Amino acid sequence: MTFQTLLLETRDGIAFLTINRPDKLNALNDQVVAELHQAAMALKDDASVRGVILTGSGPKAFVAGADIGDLAKQGVIDGRERALKGQQMLYALERLGKPVLAAVNGFALGGGCELAMACHIRIASENARFGQPEVNLGITPGYGGTQRLPRIVGKGNALYMLLTGEHVKAPDALRMGLVSLVVPQDQLMAEAEKMMKGIIAKGPVALALTIEAVDRGLETTLEEGMRIEADAFGLVASTADMKEGLTAFLEKRAAKFTGK
Ligand code: COA
């Protein structure tokens, strides 16, 4: 599969998906959004892919936001349509059924921060900067900034970012829980790959059900969330992977999961 605005390479079960508009700091124009959606659907269906690492091209930016040139031309109807299309693309990544890791290599602003937040794990290089600067432009976030950000960093930190538009440096993003790890820039992709290799060595069904239980549980009551968890816990008992994982532990050997 080839794209105009993305690079896609698969190695040892990991898909490396790179947004490739470095001259525009990888800003999300309509084509990037459409291609990311296509890529997410293709990666979901590709059985050879066990996990995805998403990053931005060049040394400066993960994604510096939605393309402001596009936004400047939008009206009521196409503006709403643009937000909905972006949100659908982010759902496609979030519901890929496989772990998606954002390797944030620079600016992650507006749609870039929102894109990173739709990924299951975020790690950042030391030069990364996160922000929701939409209010500087007189607009509100459209790709989940008002919704995923408070779920990840809490209401206070979210409103701080959303109302001030300040760029949050990587160590502060770590403190807020917006990222899980900060590493030197030249080690970012190696660290991302190392983390993803460790994750995809685990049971694929267990990984998928864990992501689903977290996401669905966050949208409901504790009691209902516990039921979702119990259902997943019961469901994995039907898998060969559970038998293999438990047996391997008892036999003091590494488990070989098949996703069955
Ligand atoms: N949309 C469209 N183009 C963008 C962009 C965006 N969100 N962010 C950066 N670019 C473009 C710039 O217009 C510039 O293009 P040009 O060389 O054709 O003029 C190029 O990317 C480089 O950006 P530049 O501003 O020159 O880099 P910088 O290092 O001086 O500043 C930023 C970097 C990220 C601070 C600055 O680009 C910025 O504030 N971008 C907008 C961030 C934003 O508000 N995002 C939310 C949008 S809803």
Tens digit of each residue's pLDDT (9 = 90 or more) over 185-230: 999 999 999 999 999 999 999 999 999 999 999 999 999 999 999 9
Whether pLDDT at 14 is above 90: yes
pLDDT digits (tens, 9 = 90+) for 63-76: 999 999 999 999 99
Question: Buried (b) or exposed (e) across 187-204, using 16+ Cβ within 10 A?
Answer: ebbebbbebbeebbebbb
As beta bridge partners, residue 15 has 10, 52
Mean predicted lDDT score pLDDT of the chain: 97
Catalytic site includes residue 126: no
Question: Which residue has the least CA distance to atom 18 on ligand 1?
Answer: 24
Give the position, in ligand 1's atom list, of the atom nearest the Cα of 60: 29
As a whole number of angstroms, the distance between CA 211 and CA 206 comes to 9
pLDDT digits (tens, 9 = 90+) for 95-124: 999 999 999 999 999 999 999 999 999 999
pLDDT digits (tens, 9 = 90+) for 40-57: 999 999 999 999 999 999
Whether pLDDT at 15 is above 90: yes
**Which residue out of 23, 24, 25, 162 has the highest number of ligand 1 atoms within 8 Å of its CB and is therefore the one to mutate?**
25
* Cβ 98 vs Cβ 44: under 8 Å: yes
What residues does ligand 1 touch, defined as CB less than 6 Å away? 24-25, 27, 64-69, 107, 109-110, 133-134, 137
Q: Band of the pLDDT at 1, cuts 50, 70, 90? A: confident
**Cα atoms in the Cβ-side hemisphere of radius 13 Å centred on 48:** 7
Pick from 182, 175, 173, 167: nearest CA to 124: 182
pLDDT digits (tens, 9 = 90+) for 128-176: 999 999 999 999 999 999 999 999 999 999 999 999 999 999 999 999 9
| pLDDT value, residue 260 | 94
Give the Å distance between the CA of 251 and the centre of ligand 1: 55
| This prediction's pTM | 0.97
As a whole number of angstroms, the distance between CA 127 and CA 141 comes to 23
* Type of residue numbered 178: L
As a whole number of angstroms, the distance between CA 182 and CA 173 comes to 9
Distances (CA, A) of 38 to 34, 45, 64, 93: 6, 11, 21, 10
Annotated catalytic residue, options 9, 134, 223, 229: 134
